[in-house]
């Protein structure tokens, strides 16, 4: 670990973001890829995405006031029950952060811009966007990706006690000194994987070993952009890693392995190109999926910074799960 800190930084690329106009979503573009990634999210440690509410949770011996996992109410038959989930917005935020770090993308901050390398300020012009803003959206520009909520199966919830989290001391400029080097931000921060530490802060979580179905819809992507997305999900065939999402990352929560089950192509498939019509979607699975997956990730190399990929692969190394996260202030 970085001096016993539970995180490290991915350095900014030497060259500033490359910006250009997005292709938009007014129609499906010829020669571009549209469809759906069919995924499974496997929790390697408990995952907590807060609902913003706390309530008393009963155990065998007591009641605990706990932070509650995100959920929604559903009606099944005549019964109203609660489904626990990983919100699509949470997965989207995690994947966007990884896309930004892997590529020459902007830093979307409204303050602390003076600490950024030259040219890394957020995209402001919808006709001049970095690759992350083109994929995920920016002011006055709708992104090309939609993330569905991932619903946890019944019986997946667990009550955990985790250490209290704290905010590092900041200097007068607003950033903690440890985040700076030579007066500039070191890079983008990511937390190591680790076994959860125990503490006195109760929260409900989706337990370890849960498998949640998930879907990401994509519209008008190039092969390189789809390869970049797959790499950010930890699915590069030569550089795999689990991702981290939700709350409690410093204390070992949120480690998730993403599995690619199949891809549904509604544009870019051979049948669509031959007929000129959408017709039936093409499902890629097995060897066909593996071949296309490899080709797209290879194409993604034109957008991916090699040093950044190696740094992310090192920080998010699954071997970190053999150590325990810090329980005390770090």
Where along the chain do its domains lie? 7-316
CB 250 within 8 Å of CB 45: no
User: What is the structure's pLDDT at 239?
Assistant: 98
CB 207 within 8 Å of CB 43: yes
Single pTM value for the model: 0.93
Structure tokens at 10: 């991915």
CB 130 within 8 Å of CB 137: no
User: What is the structure's pLDDT at 209?
Assistant: 98
The angle, 0 to 180 degrees and rounded to 10, between the axes of the packed helices 306-315 and 88-102 is 130
User: What is the structure's pLDDT at 271?
Assistant: 46
CB 191 within 8 Å of CB 45: no
Cβ atoms within 10 Å of 144's Cβ, excluding its own: 23
110's CB contacts (< 8 A; 6+ apart) are 122
User: What is the structure's pLDDT at 7?
Assistant: 96
User: What is the structure's pLDDT at 234?
Assistant: 99
pLDDT per 10-residue tile (average), the chain, 330 residues: 80 95 87 96 98 89 91 83 94 98 91 87 94 96 97 96 82 78 92 96 97 98 98 98 97 98 80 53 94 98 98 98 91
What's the half-sphere exposure (Cβ side, CA atoms, 13 Å) at 316? Answer: 31
- Label residue 206 exposed, middle or buried (CB < 10 Å: 0-12, 13-18, 19+): buried
Is 189 strand, coil or helix?
A: strand
CB 278 within 8 Å of CB 272: yes
User: What is the structure's pLDDT at 277?
Assistant: 55
**Gyration radius (Cα) of the chain, Å:** 21
How far apart are alpha carbons 98 and 305 in whole angstroms?
A: 12
CB 236 within 8 Å of CB 230: yes
User: What is the structure's pLDDT at 122?
Assistant: 94
How far apart are alpha carbons 132 and 122 in whole angstroms?
A: 11
How far apart are alpha carbons 325 and 155 in whole angstroms?
A: 26
User: What is the structure's pLDDT at 303?
Assistant: 98
Cβ atoms within 10 Å of 269's Cβ, excluding its own: 22
How far apart are alpha carbons 170 and 216 in whole angstroms?
A: 37
CB 38 within 8 Å of CB 215: yes
Structure tokens at 237: 């065939």
CB 224 within 8 Å of CB 170: no
How far apart are alpha carbons 12 and 23 in whole angstroms?
A: 26
- Label residue 88 exposed, middle or buried (CB < 10 Å: 0-12, 13-18, 19+): middle
């Amino acid at each position: 670990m970085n001096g016993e800190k539970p995180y490290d930084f991915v350095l900014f690329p030497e060259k500033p973001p490359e910006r250009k106009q997005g292709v938009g979503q007014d129609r499906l573009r010829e020669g571009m890829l549209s469809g759906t990634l069919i995924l499974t999210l496997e929790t390697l440690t408990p995952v907590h995405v807060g609902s913003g509410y706390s309530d008393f949770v009963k155990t065998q011996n007591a009641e605990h006031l706990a932070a509650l996992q995100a959920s929604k109410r559903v009606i099944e038959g005549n019964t109203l029950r609660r489904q626990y989930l990983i919100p699509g917005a949470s997965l989207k935020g995690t994947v966007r952060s990884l896309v930004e770090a892997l590529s020459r993308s902007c830093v979307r901050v409204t303050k602390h811009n003076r600490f950024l390398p030259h040219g890394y300020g957020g995209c402001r012009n919808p006709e001049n966007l970095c690759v992350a803003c083109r994929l995920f959206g920016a002011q006055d520009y709708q992104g090309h990706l939609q993330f569905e909520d991932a619903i946890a199966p019944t019986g997946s919830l667990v009550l955990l006690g985790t250490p209290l989290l704290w905010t590092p001391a900041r200097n007068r400029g607003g950033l903690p000194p440890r985040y700076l080097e030579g007066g500039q931000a070191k890079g983008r921060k990511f937390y190591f994987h680790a076994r959860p530490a125990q503490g006195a802060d109760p929260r409900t979580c989706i337990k370890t070993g849960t498998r949640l179905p998930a879907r990401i819809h994509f519209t008008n992507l190039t092969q390189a952009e789809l390869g970049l997305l797959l790499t950010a999900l930890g699915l590069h065939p030569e550089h795999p890693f689990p991702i981290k999402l939700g709350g409690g990352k410093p204390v070992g929560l949120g480690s998730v392995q993403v599995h690619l089950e199949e891809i549904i192509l509604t544009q870019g498939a051979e049948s669509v190109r031959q007929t000129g019509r959408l017709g039936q979607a093409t499902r890629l699975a097995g060897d066909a999926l593996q071949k296309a997956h490899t080709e797209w990730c290879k194409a993604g190399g034109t957008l991916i910074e090699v040093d950044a990929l190696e740094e992310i692969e090192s920080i998010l190394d699954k071997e970190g799960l053999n150590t325990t996260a810090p329980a005390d202030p770090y």
